[in-house]
Amino acid sequence: MNEIVQIEYEGIEPKKELEPFIQTVMKQCFTEEHLLDANLYIAITLTTPEDIRTLNQQYRNIDKETDVLSFPMFEKEEIQKIQKQNEHMVKEVLGDIVISVQKVEEQASEYGHSFERELAYMLVHGFYHLMGYDHIEEKDKLQMRPKEEKILQDLKITRN
């Protein structure tokens, strides 16, 4: 299997101990969505609240910190075509996921679960944004949330 994740660090010390966990979560996402043989990968950047705020301002015109940002490279229809073909000729990035590690720590504490559970949720949530899913409208949320929960359940990553 090709590498499906490229991990970068921006403004924080590398956390190499998280990399196998991130790989496992992303592999489950790729497996679930039939992308393992698609010759695609995801670029994940772990960063600071300040850096993610800058990106949020620059790309979404929202001047505040957030936990995760996703930057897809394909439209949903294009991904569906790739899934059906189950191959992609040239190695390409499915998209970028940027995660504020500090926000993950804060939210894990706030919600009363582990850092790993919160990080896994951010990864899966970001992945499904790359896949063309959203949660602004209730009807869209009803499609996205069950997909997220299935990945976390399959990995036995629970809220407690």
Mean pLDDT, range 105-126, rounded to an integer? 95
pLDDT band at 152 (very low <50, low <70, confident <90, very high): very high
Q: Is residue 139 very low, low, confident or very high in pLDDT (cuts 50, 70, 90)?
A: confident
Residues 12/49, Cβ–Cβ less than 8 Å: no
**Position 97 in a domain:** yes
Say if residue 158's pLDDT is above 70: yes
Residue 58 inside a domain? The answer is yes
CA 87/CA 134 separation, integer angstroms: 25
In a domain? residue 91: yes
- Split into its structural domains, the chain has a count of 1
At residue 69, does pLDDT exceed 90?
Answer: yes
CA distance 132 to 111: 27
Instruction: List the CATH number of the domain containing 26.
Output: 3.40.390.30
The pLDDT mean for the chain works out to: 91
CB 38 within 8 A of CB 80: no
Higher-pLDDT residue of 1, 52? 52
| Residue among 103, 137, 142, 94 at smallest CA distance from 121 | 103
Q: How confident is the model at residue 8 (pLDDT cuts 50, 70, 90)?
A: very high
Range of weakest confidence among 55-69, 70-84, 98-112, 134-148:
134-148
What average pLDDT does range 133-156 have in this prediction?
87
Q: At residue 50, does pLDDT exceed 90?
A: yes
pLDDT at residue 1 is higher than 60: no
Residue 123 covered by a domain: yes
Q: Is residue 160 part of a domain?
A: no
159 in a domain, yes or no? no
- For the chain, list the strands marked E by DSSP: 5-10, 40-47, 68-72, 92-100
Q: Taking every pair of C-alpha atoms in the chain, what is the biggest distance, in angstroms?
A: 44
Domain range for 18 is: 5-154
pTM for the model: 0.91
Please list, in sequence order, all residues whose beta carbon lies within 8 angstroms of the beta carbon of residue 51, skipping any fewer than 6 positions away.
10, 11, 98, 100
